[in-house]
Chain A
């Protein structure tokens, strides 16, 4: 697994730009962005809708490529990798927690958590031990045979967090993770993520509007009209 060096940034943007060409219509989503995301911290990317938060998160998650500039994630130059290398890189280093949970509906909670380990080719015994431990950590050991449609929103997000952390990623990206949860469940999820972040020493990057979540930020990056507006470190 690729990890940022002890003092090196988790992610480094160097004059990164992202332009979409939609049927001849050129849309500048990000322009000349340069900043660093600190390792093993809670980093919040904030900004109004359409400001470029999700585009930035997609670039960090290596599921989209910058149009210009240089982006290094966990020390690796993303622009220099082909699709398969990026896929393998994501499989080892990057995890996602989605706003809509995005659990695979045909798999049980246990199987959803196990899935990333399967993609990594983890041996069965190891896979089982890690999956059960992670479900235990998010308090869902007793729900492991439940399918997503048998779980509440908070439980689904817990499974999603377990799925994200089970492989021990360097970077966890969460796009509006509390948006579909009530405030009480949202608070629980934030506390859970903080807890596992400390235990697993992972770097968490959030895209959010949620003030409750923003209040937990170690680093805040504000984006407006595709440009860096503010960078604040606690």
Chain B
């Protein structure tokens, strides 16, 4: 009966209830859309990170903190054995999608045709594994992206990729078709002769061993023994890395080429073993198992996840989550005030009814519960409409196949909101709205419960 009374009282002043309901629904809709947008951003960042660096990386202990100063010294000797150990573990194997060795190194890259050189941060990948990793798309956010060629080939270890910034610095804008490249300034004769520089002429393309024409650059790195080592790299494409610093330093090459560059004639090693899992949710479990496995086999190895390797992921997700929280807070406050106002008016209008019910024997607590129930029902109705509408608008928005160019990105990427696997988000928003409306109803409900019967019956 009390549900019936509460529901009929909501319907009684249809316009006011509708406005309150709409305020809650609009709040819900905004929260759903922004929440799903944040979900999309998080999923996109996660997908980018996992495609590039996998979920987990196994390093020799100390590499993550100190290895960049001397990567050669922190190599994993029997990396093949370690990979077999990991891949053969029954607890890890079902979750594993790709396991691959990598080599990280630093050095100098030069285009001596134009007397230009630059320090670089390089990574050596197994081309086939790199290709497989780039196809990971657990959240379905990369389905609309055109997957460009990785630029690495298993049959030609001399092929590689540079960041668009590094390509520009090395004077490869033309051959690599780098967009928005400003014209290279003419150096004065004095400076040019001081530097012994050759005039800036278009680079002649050379044939790589696989007979694919590509500009050549030279990579200089120090081997484990400290001796300088030089290898040629045929740059097949320039790839945007998002941040300028990374863009002007990035070099991706074949794993074997990186090994030769870093270890020379010494024993070839890997500086990291990358694990890409089927599902991100398995990270904690697999990481714990890896650590147990290494301890069991007395291996001096450590494990890092992609969020540690790519701090931008954590920062961006943190920032968007904070904005979402802020928007939710504002929506919650709006809902709170709307419900307080609507229920407050309702209490005033129904003062005589409250007095009558109290005279008939309705306890104060029951009066309070009745108004709180009304608030909760309003909240539930508004939240249901808002969440459903939000999901519908999100699906319609995705069907427009919009694109945008996020900060640091060279090309437009799909602009979507994440509409799948959002049950937890939708349920959370629904609960927040219902709780806000219920809490808001407590204030007028208390006022109704505190009314004196005599005063309430006298109310006109």
Contact = CB atoms under 8 A, between A and B. Distances in A.
A115 interface: yes
A87 B356 contact: no
Contacts of A90: 359-361
Contacts of B8: 106-107
Contact of A118 (B1, B358, B359): B1
A102 B363 contact: no
Interface in A110-160: 111, 114-116, 118-120
Contact of A106 (B9, B352, B356, B454): B9
B361 A106 contact: no
Chain A contact patch, size range: 20 to 34
Contacts of B352: 100, 102
B364 A63 contact: no
Interface in B416-460: 453-454, 457
B383 to A, nearest CB: 23
Interface string B360-377: 111110000000000000
A84 interface: yes
B357 interface: yes
Interface string A51-88: 00000001001011000000000000000000110011
A116 B358 CA distance: 11
Contacts of A92: 361
Contact of B362 (A87, A95, A102, A114): A87
B454 A115 contact: no
A98 interface: yes
Interface extent on B, as a size class?
Answer: 20 to 34
B362 A105 contact: no
B12 A116 contact: no
Contacts of A102: 352-353, 355-356, 457
Contacts of B4: 111
A58 B359 CA distance: 10
Interface string B380-417: 00000000000000000000000000000000000000
B5 A63 contact: no
A199 to B, nearest CB: 21
Contact of B361 (A58, A87, A100): A87
Contact of B359 (A63, A88, A107): A63
B1 A111 contact: yes
Most chain-A CB neighbours within 10 Å: which of B12, B352, B357, B361?
B361
A227 interface: no
Nearest to A107: B5
Nearest to A55: B454
Contacts of A84: 363-364
Nearest to B360: A116
Contact of A116 (B5, B9, B361, B454): B361
A106 B363 contact: no
Contacts of A96: 356, 359-360
Interface in B223-257: none
A91 B360 contact: yes
A91 B361 contact: yes
A104 B359 CA distance: 13
Given A63-B453, A64-B454, A105 B12 contact: yes
Given A98-B356, A104-B5, A106-B8, A87 B454 contact: no
Contacts of A63: 358-359, 453-454, 457
Most buried by B among A87, A105, A163: A87
Contacts of A83: 364
Contacts of B362: 87, 91, 119
A138 to B, nearest CB: 17
A63 B454 CA distance: 6
Given A88-B363, A111-B1, 6 more contacts: A63-B457, A87-B362, A96-B356, A96-B359, A106-B5, A118-B1
Interface of B: 1, 4-5, 8-9, 12, 352-353, 355-364, 453-454, 457
4 tightest Cβ-Cβ pairs between the two chains A and B? A91-B361, A106-B8, A63-B453, A102-B356
